[in-house]
Structure 1
Amino acid sequence: MVVVDKVKVTVDSARVIEAEMLTPKSFATFGSVFSADEQIQDAEKTSANQGTATKLLKVAPVINNSEQAPSGRMATANWNIFRSYPPNHLMTKDGDTVSYLARVLERHPYTTQTFIPMGLDAHQIGFLVICAPNDTAHGNLPDYRRARAFLCRGDQSVTYGVGTWHAPMVALGPGYHLDFAVLVHENGVPNEDCEEVLYEPGFHVSYVV
């Protein structure tokens, strides 16, 4: 991964974003959510597996626009595993409130990316997702001032839309790792697969435990 034109952005570290609970509706600006309990009533669905399953149809797109990349190198669909550890060095706690110092936002310019947690209790809050819209007035860099953060349960997965700015996945702990199965298209050209912007000293995301 590389930094977009070696961009480093100085920000007001006093800025605090309060995390909200993830739902398909709250995340819709940035991509899609797999959350069967929340989607089963309204999603298009069919019966499957000889009547022993309900199939929810097309809950999240899988998009590969790598033909638009400058190199012209087509990307392949890859399943990866991310073993994520809580970034304790970026977290502070004051009573029941935890503050995470976000220092990186990244995006995949030509592809969606899906994160599916593995081995996490369905109702456990296990990871934090942070996204920001493009700042079209400043070269389509992320507008961290309008970033939003989401607390996610073990029975929820997220698909970032093509070109969506997001923080590296934040596993919540402390004291354990969280594995994700991750689907993304990659062509091996670093700045086409992933772009990064670094923030100094960073901006804060808070949530209550």
Structure 2
Amino acid sequence: MKTLQMERLTRAAFAPFGDVIELEGARHFAINGGTTERYHDLACVDVTENGGRPLINLFRAQPRALPVEITMMERHPLGSQAFIPLTAGRYLVVVAPAGEFDPTQMRAFWTDAWQGVNYAKGVWHHPLLALDRVSDFVVVDRGGEQPNCDELSLAQPRRLTFEASAERVE
């Protein structure tokens, strides 16, 4: 079984797949008479294609133990999907570029506390991979009449562990 190299989640590293939602480096300013700090425009919500509308959901992820075996991926071809953690629990992110799925382009990231992600429309990703404890996430995605979730099983599963080698999976 091949192993995916884990990377720290940063805006630059994740840019091909969407947005990292975090306060550090975000545009912010005081509002409400100076009683509130607004962190502005943290992600590009893209859900209106073919009459879609934004949904706000809460997902409760059960913790996983490492190593995790990645056997499937999914994508949402009609809209972005944002995950914003409500606790400082660790979680992992596994992605591949939009378009025809290419397992050689899979990447895995570990998150710092309070980082969220916004998967761009069509980006392949694994469902939530919470670590340590049950973790709640606010999820902003697309509602509408058309199906908006494609799933596929990997021909060759990948192992996800912090002990991964320094070489990228090919």
Residue 85 of structure 2 is matched in structure 1 by 117
Give the structure with the higher percent strand.
1
Structure 2, gaps ≥5 residues long: 164-170
Alpha-carbon contact 1:105-1:142 (below 8 Å) kept = no
Please report the TM-score for the alignment, with normalisation by the length of structure 2. 0.86
Alpha-carbon contact 1:127-1:151 (below 8 Å) kept = yes
Tell me, yes or no, if structure 1 residue 103 matches structure 2 residue 103. no
Residue 47 of structure 2 is matched in structure 1 by 64
Residue 184 of structure 1 is matched in structure 2 by 141
AA in 1 matched with 2:150: E
Give, in whole Å, the separation in 2 of the partners of 1:78 and 1:29.
Answer: 24
Residue 166 of structure 2 is matched in structure 1 by none
Residue 165 of structure 1 is matched in structure 2 by 124
Alpha-carbon contact 1:24-1:35 (below 8 Å) kept = no
1:141 deviation in Å?
2.6
Segments of 4+ in structure 1 off by > 2 A? 43-47, 52-57
Residue 92 of structure 1 is matched in structure 2 by none
Tell me, yes or no, if structure 1 residue 27 matches structure 2 residue 4. no
Write out aligned runs for 1:1-209 (5 A). 13=1, 15-36=2-23, 38-39=24-25, 43-67=26-50, 74-88=51-65, 98-118=66-86, 120-121=87-88, 124=89, 126-134=90-98, 140-173=99-132, 176-189=133-146, 192-207=147-162
Alpha-carbon contact 2:85-2:135 (below 8 Å) kept = yes
Alpha-carbon contact 1:77-1:185 (below 8 Å) kept = yes
Question: What is the SS of the residue equivalent to 1:203?
Answer: strand
RMSD between aligned alpha carbons? 1.8
Structure 1, gaps ≥5 residues long: 1-12, 68-73, 89-97, 135-139
Instruction: State the aligned residue count.
Output: 163
